[in-house]
């Protein structure tokens, strides 16, 4: 997923969910989606539970997490 597509789907608003990254201005955070995936839910199950989400939103959450991981400082050993 390119950065522009991710930027279109992930938003941060100071007054919403404590300023955490949310999906398209909804009250569903990137963390919420990542936690559901970590618990073993499939993308289809997440969309069934939250019909306002799209598969592209879930993939944007994964891309956002990967982007954050890439920016973490590495410790030299």
Q: CA nearest 43: which of 29, 33, 28?
A: 33
Query: What pLDDT shows up at residue 54?
Result: 96
Q: Which two tokens stand for residue 17?
A: 């969910």
Q: What is the pLDDT along the chain (77 residues), one digit of tens a residue?
A: 566 667 789 999 999 999 999 999 899 999 999 999 999 999 999 999 999 999 999 999 999 999 988 877 677 77
Query: What pLDDT shows up at residue 3?
Result: 61
Query: What pLDDT shows up at residue 35?
Result: 98
CATH topology of domain 3-70: Arc Repressor Mutant, subunit A (1.10.10)
Q: CA nearest 60: which of 10, 16, 21?
A: 10
Q: Where are the domains of the chain?
A: 3-70
What pTM was computed for the model? Answer: 0.84
- Nearby residues of 63 by Cβ (< 8 Å), 6 or more positions away: 1, 6
Q: Which two tokens stand for residue 70?
A: 């890439």
């Amino acid at each position: 997923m390119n950065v522009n597509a991710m930027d279109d789907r992930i938003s941060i608003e100071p007054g919403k969910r404590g300023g955490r990254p949310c999906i398209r201005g909804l009250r569903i955070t990137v963390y919420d989606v990542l936690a559901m995936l970590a618990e073993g839910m499939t993308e289809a199950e997440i969309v069934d539970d939250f019909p306002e989400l799209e598969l592209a939103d879930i993939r944007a959450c994964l891309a956002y997490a990967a982007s954050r991981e890439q920016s973490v400082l590495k410790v030299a050993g």
